[in-house]
Amino acid sequence: MGSLGTALLNSLDIGLLLFVIAVGLSIVFGVLNVINFAHGALYMLGAYLAYTCIAGLGMPFWLTLLVAPLCVAALAVVIDRLMLRFIYQREVTDSLLLTFALMLILNESVRLIWGTGIHIIDPPDLLKGTLALPGGVTYPIYSLFVISVGLVSVCGLWLLFNKTRIGKIMRAAALDREMAQVLCINTRLVITGVFAFGAWLAAVGGVVAAPMRAIDPGMGDKIIIESFIVVVIGGLGSFPGALLGAVVLGLIHGLGGRFFPEVNLVLPFLGMAVVLLLKPQGLMGKGASS
């Protein structure tokens, strides 16, 4: 039972961290109809900025968790104004090609600035060590913190989309941009804000993941693949779909890594293939209003 409990907690840890990252990708597509291939690079940039803030500038982790995502969001505003605004009314494939090029630019920029080596940062002292849980399970405190960040993100995003004026404006812009303009909604500002918000979520995921994973130039490529698996399973553009897809992928990683380690690498792709065969639109389909 202790082994099963640990595997389930690992699944929740992985799944909720993937949700924080992948939901930004899903929101950007749902509102802007842009497949942001550079999303993984923005996640990586958040992790590298966390390393610089903590190891280079001596910032506390909690301040870094505030500063680094804001810096990435500011960069996203610049990217939107200089590049993406020219392709919003064009085919999805145009945005895919542009963001793929942007991913390559950001990846090479990271290599030039931080090098190709691996960097590691420690979790804050408050979150070091392990905690004894019921059922004979001993689990790292930092992993419990990651789970709590994911749960707070789920609740916060649900409240944003369903209970706030900003969320309703975002949903209106996603459903009918021209009608939103008729209603005096500044859709240009909404578009920029949504893209920056998606980048901010990716960077939050990068900062939170940094003490758990090695920081290297290839980490963005790995996470964008997993993020696409999440949104394909759940349904591209759907908020509940991103949550469901992240939980499913987390279970595949957590339980597969514990009980089927020899085939764990292929299980996510098998799961995605099964979903595409049975329900090509994903388990929850597309819908910004979801």
pLDDT in tens, 44-89: 999 999 999 999 999 999 999 999 999 999 999 999 999 888 887 7
Residue 248 contacts by C-beta under 8 Å, 6 or more apart in sequence? Answer: 15, 233, 234, 271, 283
Look up tokens 């980490």; give the residue.
219
Q: How many CB atoms lie within 10 A of CB 187?
A: 18
Domain count, the chain: 1
Residue 124 lies in a domain: no
Beta strands in the chain (DSSP E): 130-133, 137-140
3-state SS, residue 279: coil
Residue 284 lies in a domain: no
CA distance 181 to 239: 24
Domain encompassing residue 84: 2-118+130-278
Residue 125 lies in a domain: no
Q: Encode the chain (290 residues) as per-residue pLDDT tens digits.
A: 557 778 888 899 999 999 999 999 999 988 888 889 999 999 999 999 999 999 999 999 999 999 999 999 999 999 999 988 888 778 888 888 999 999 999 999 999 999 999 999 999 999 999 888 877 788 899 999 999 999 999 999 999 988 898 888 888 877 777 777 777 778 888 889 999 999 999 999 999 999 988 899 989 998 999 999 999 898 887 888 899 999 999 988 888 777 777 777 888 888 888 888 888 888 886 543 34
Least Cα distance to 167 among 157, 179, 177, 153 occurs for 157
Helix (H) or strand (E) holding 169: helix 165-175
Residue 28 lies in a domain: yes
CA distance 227 to 18: 7
Residue 123 lies in a domain: no
Per-residue pLDDT tens digits for 145-170: 999 999 999 999 999 988 898 888 88
CA Rg value for the chain: 19
Both tokens assigned to 54: 């903590």
Phi, then psi, of 8 in degrees rounded to 5: -70, -40
CATH number for position 52: 1.10.3470
Residue 267 lies in a domain: yes
Least Cα distance to 30 among 195, 146, 185 occurs for 195
pTM of the model: 0.91
Look up tokens 């490529």; give the residue.
221
Among left, alpha and beta (phi > 0; psi -120 to 50; other), residue 117 is beta
